[in-house]
Structure 1
Amino acid sequence: MPSPVRVGVLGCADIARRRMLPALAALEDTEIAAVASRDVETAARTAMPYGCRVVADYAELVTLPDVDAVYVPLPVALHAAWVEAALRAGKHVLAEKPLTTDPERSRALFALARRRGLVLWENVMFVHHAQHTAVRRLVADGLIGELRSFHAAFAVPRRPDGDIRLVPELGGGALWDVGVYPVRAAVHFLGAGLRVAGAVLTRDRYGRQVDTAGSVLLRTADGVGGHLEFGLDHAYRSSYALWGSEGGVTVEHAFTPPAGHRPVLRVADRTGTREIVLGPDDQVTNTVRGFARAVRAAGTGARPLPVGRAEEASLLQADLLAEVLHRAGLGLAPARPSLSGTEYS
C-alpha cells in the first residue's frame, strides 16, 4: 500500500468539518497532517478528533515539509492567493469551488500547477457521484431521443445575518455559492460551446450588498437550451432534468446527497413513466480518493501535467460565471482566451 497523501487544511469552514475532514481521515489514501486557522482555539477543536497538528498561520502550513497537499475551504475571495501560495510551495491543491472569481486568474493557476507537475483540483464533488454517470448513459443510449433542453436548480433557505455567504468582500452571493452547481451541471451534460444568452441576478432585499437569487439562460452551438435557477432565500431545491425529442429524465437530490441516499431517476419516454432506483454512492469519498490518486500519479518532479477534462470543465465553468455577471450588468465581458494565455512564472 502506497503511503497516504498528507493533507494540510487551510481553515475550519463548515464543509471542511462536516464532510471533507471525516473523508480525509477515513480513507487509507489520505491522512490529515495539519489544520490551520487564525483562531487557534477553533483550529484545536477542529483538529482534536484527528490527532493532527494545529497551526495558527496559513503561510506556515503551506510550507510544512510533512504536508504533500493543501485543501482550501476558505471564503471565495481568499482562494486565489492561497492556492497560488500552496502551489509555489510545491504542494498539490484541492480547492473549494469556485476556484477563483476571475477566469484569467484560474487559467494562470492551472498553468502554474501544470508547469510544476502539481495537481490542482476544483472541489466540485457532485460530478463524482455515480448517478450522473447513469444519466449520461441513458441519454447516450437514446432513451430520450435528441436532447432539446436542460433545466437545473439549486437553492437553500435564507442565510442568517453574518453568514459569510452574505459578505461581498469575502466573495459572497448566490452566484458564487449555489449558482456554481447548476452552471457546472450544464457544463457536465452540455459540454463545450456553451454561451450565456441571458441572466438576471437579484440583489438582497434586506440591504445586504450581494445577490441572493439568479436565473440564467444558456445555449449550445447546435441550439440546445439551458435554464438555470439558484438562490439563498428559497425553499430547498436540488434537481436537474434533461428533455429530449422522445422523453426526459429528472434527478432530485442532485448536488449534495448524503452517502446513504439511494438516487431515483424519473424517466419518461414513449412507453410511459417509471423510476430507476440506483444504489447509494458517496461523492465525498470518491472525490478525495480521486484527488489522492491524481497526486500519486503526478509523482515527485514529474513533467508538467497535461490539461485534463476536469481542468477544461473548471475553466468553462469560470467563463460562464463571468459571462453571467456581465449579462446581469455586474461585471466586465469575459475575454475567453485560450489555455495558453496569461501564466504565472
Structure 2
Amino acid sequence: MSGPVRVGVLGCADIALRRMLPAFTAAPGLELAAIASRDPARAKEAGLRFGCRPVHGYAELLAADDIEAVYVPLPAALHAPWVEAALEAGKHVLAEKPLTTDPESTERLLGLAAKRGVALMENVMFVHHPRHEAVRSLVADGRIGELRSFRAEFAIPPLADGDIRYSAELGGGALSDVGLYPLRAALHFLGHDLDVVGARLVRRAGREVETAGAALLATPGGVTAHLTFGMEHAYASRYELWGSEGRITVDRAFTPPADHVPVIGLHGGAGTEEIRLEPADQVAATVAAFVDAVREGSAPCADTLRQAVLLHDVRGSA
C-alpha cells in the first residue's frame, strides 16, 4: 500500500470530535477522508470543521471505494453490528473500547478480521504511552524485588444525566467504560494468567447501570490485582506495583494530556526516587499504531480477547 491511509468516521461522538479527529488530521501517513452521521447537518458541520467529506448514513460511507479504514466511536452496544459491516466491506477498523459487549462477539469479529486480511484494533490508548514500558523495565530489572501485588484505580466525576454511559440499552456502565482501564493495566503488567477471585458492582439509586465497582484478580503464582473504578467519584487515575523490596507508583496513568511530564515514583529502602520522562502524546501514538496495523493487514488481538473474557468474568462474579 502506498500513499496515506484514507479513513472514514462512523458518527460524530464527542471523543471523535474532541480527541481522535484532531489526531487524524495531524497524523503522518493518514488522511481523514469522510465523516458520516445519520443527521446530515451534523455530518456537514464536522466535515467543514475537519476538512473532510460529509456523508449521510453509515452504510453509505462503508460503500465508498475510496475509504480504506474506518473509526467507530459509536455507543458500545452498536459496535458489533457496525464493526462487522465494516469488516465485511473490506475496511480496516479502529473501534472505541470496549470492542463489543461480550467475549463471543469479540472473538467472532477478531476471527472475521483475520479471515478478511484486515486490521481490527480496539482504541485502548494508554498502552501506547512509553511510560508503561519504562515501568515494565524497572520491574524486569528487579528494582522492587519480586512482584507481590498490583493496584489500579480509575474514576471520573458524575456525567450529565442523559449521557449514553448511563444507558443499559446502549451498553453503558462503569465496568466497561472506566473499569476496563485498570483491568487492562493488570493484563499489561501481570499477563494473561489472571483469574477473577471476586468482584462487586454498585449501582447508585436512580441509575440503570452500575456506577462503580471493584475486583480482585490473581495469577497462579499468587500475585494479586486489586482494581477499583467508578464514574461518580472525585477523579483518580493511578496504579501501583508492590514488590518484596519496594513499590512503583504512577499517577495520571490512563489519560494524560500530550504535554504532561510523566513521573514514575520508585519507592525503596533508600527513599523515593522520581523518574521524570519526556512528554508523550498517547493519542498520536495510537493513531500511528493503527496506521502500522493497516499497512501490515492485521493488529495484535490477544489482549483484546483476554480483556473481553475478564470483563465478562468480573460481571459474572459480582
Taking the aligned partners of 1:204 and 1:86, their CA distance within structure 2 comes to 37
Taking the aligned partners of 1:161 and 1:294, their CA distance within structure 2 comes to 37
Taking the aligned partners of 1:311 and 1:87, their CA distance within structure 2 comes to 15
Alignment of 1:246-257 (within 5 A): 246-257=245-256
State the 1:28 CA deviation.
2.0
User: Any stretches of 5+ residues in structure 2 without a counterpart?
Assistant: none
State the 1:45 CA deviation.
1.7
State the 1:19 CA deviation.
0.9
The superposition leaves residues 17-64 of structure 1 with CA deviations (integer Å, 9 ceiling, x where unpaired) of 111101111112111111011122122222212221111111111121
Opposite residue 317 of structure 1, the aligned amino acid is Q
Task: Give yes or no for contact 1:164–1:172 (8 Å, CA) kept in 2.
Answer: yes
Alignment of 1:302-321 (within 5 A): 310-321=300-311
The superposition leaves residues 165-204 of structure 1 with CA deviations (integer Å, 9 ceiling, x where unpaired) of 1011001110111011011101101101101100000012
Taking the aligned partners of 1:59 and 1:2, their CA distance within structure 2 comes to 26
1:203 and 2:188 aligned: no
Taking the aligned partners of 1:251 and 1:158, their CA distance within structure 2 comes to 24
Sequence identity (%)? 61
Which residue of the partner structure matches residue 261 of structure 1?
260
The superposition leaves residues 217-240 of structure 1 with CA deviations (integer Å, 9 ceiling, x where unpaired) of 000111100000100100000000
Which residue of the partner structure matches residue 339 of structure 1?
none
* SS at structure 1 position matched to 2:172: coil
Which residue of the partner structure matches residue 327 of structure 1?
317
The superposition leaves residues 73-92 of structure 1 with CA deviations (integer Å, 9 ceiling, x where unpaired) of 00000000000000000000
1:160 and 2:160 aligned: yes
TM-score, reference length from structure 2: 0.98
Taking the aligned partners of 1:289 and 1:262, their CA distance within structure 2 comes to 21
Which residue of the partner structure matches residue 103 of structure 2?
103
Q: Report the more deviating stretch, 250-259 or 27-36.
A: 27-36
Which residue of the partner structure matches residue 288 of structure 1?
287
Task: Give yes or no for contact 1:63–1:86 (8 Å, CA) kept in 2.
Answer: no
Taking the aligned partners of 1:323 and 1:175, their CA distance within structure 2 comes to 11
Q: Report the more deviating stretch, 267-276 or 254-263.
A: 267-276
* SS at structure 2 position matched to 1:248: strand
The count of corresponding residues between Structure 1 and Structure 2 is 318
State the 1:117 CA deviation.
0.6
User: Any stretches of 5+ residues in structure 1 without a counterpart?
Assistant: 299-304, 329-345
Taking the aligned partners of 2:102 and 2:221, their CA distance within structure 1 comes to 27
State the 1:270 CA deviation.
2.5
Taking the aligned partners of 1:72 and 1:287, their CA distance within structure 2 comes to 14
Taking the aligned partners of 1:204 and 1:8, their CA distance within structure 2 comes to 38
Opposite residue 210 of structure 1, the aligned amino acid is V
Alignment of 1:47-62 (within 5 A): 47-62=47-62
TM-score, reference length from structure 1: 0.90
The superposition leaves residues 252-306 of structure 1 with CA deviations (integer Å, 9 ceiling, x where unpaired) of 00000010000111111222112111110011101101111111122xxxxxx5x
Taking the aligned partners of 2:296 and 2:171, their CA distance within structure 1 comes to 33
Taking the aligned partners of 1:268 and 1:52, their CA distance within structure 2 comes to 49
Opposite residue 184 of structure 1, the aligned amino acid is R
* SS at structure 1 position matched to 2:301: helix
RMSD (CA atoms): 1.1
Opposite residue 280 of structure 2, the aligned amino acid is D
State the 1:318 CA deviation.
0.3
* SS at structure 2 position matched to 1:169: coil
Taking the aligned partners of 1:16 and 1:128, their CA distance within structure 2 comes to 18
Alignment of 1:221-260 (within 5 A): 221-260=220-259
Taking the aligned partners of 1:38 and 1:167, their CA distance within structure 2 comes to 20
Taking the aligned partners of 2:15 and 2:144, their CA distance within structure 1 comes to 36
Taking the aligned partners of 2:45 and 2:143, their CA distance within structure 1 comes to 50
Task: Give yes or no for contact 1:250–1:265 (8 Å, CA) kept in 2.
Answer: yes
* SS at structure 1 position matched to 2:211: strand
Which residue of the partner structure matches residue 140 of structure 1?
140
